[in-house]
Amino acid sequence: MARTVIWSYEATADLETIADYIAKDSTFYAASFVIEVREASRSLNEFSERGRLVPELSNPSIRELFIKNYRLIYHVEEVRVDILGLIHGRRDLKTLWEKEQR
């Protein structure tokens, strides 16, 4: 069953911040990264269970895909997938999300 993929405000802001950072060195690689992330998120409409469970969050409906050094974190519901965030893999996810109250 196809699900609707919805980007949260926070996830959109994460992607924009990362793209701006990459663009300081290369606008080409920034655009390429955004395309790769968007394509991965679109694939979740059919293959939402393909990501692994997020170890820090103990919630079986929250999963993640790795895209380069980043974790695309999303919540799977019956009819939709909510993109929750895009976080660098070296960051402490649990502390970051508690601080930002996600």
42-76 pLDDT, tens digit per residue, is 999 999 988 999 988 888 999 999 999 999 999 99
Give the pLDDT confidence score for residue 91 in this predicted structure: 79
- β-pair type (80-88, 4-7): parallel
Residues β-bridged to residue 81: 5, 76
Q: For all residues of the chain together, what is the average pLDDT?
A: 91
Structure tokens of 56? 């820090």
Full-prediction pTM beyond 0.95? no
Contact 48, 75 (CB under 8 A): no
DSSP type of residue 8: -
What CATH number does the domain containing 10 carry? Answer: 3.30.2310.20
| Domain carrying residue 9 | 4-100
| Total of domains in the chain | 1
pLDDT tens profile 27-50 = 999 999 999 999 999 999 999 988
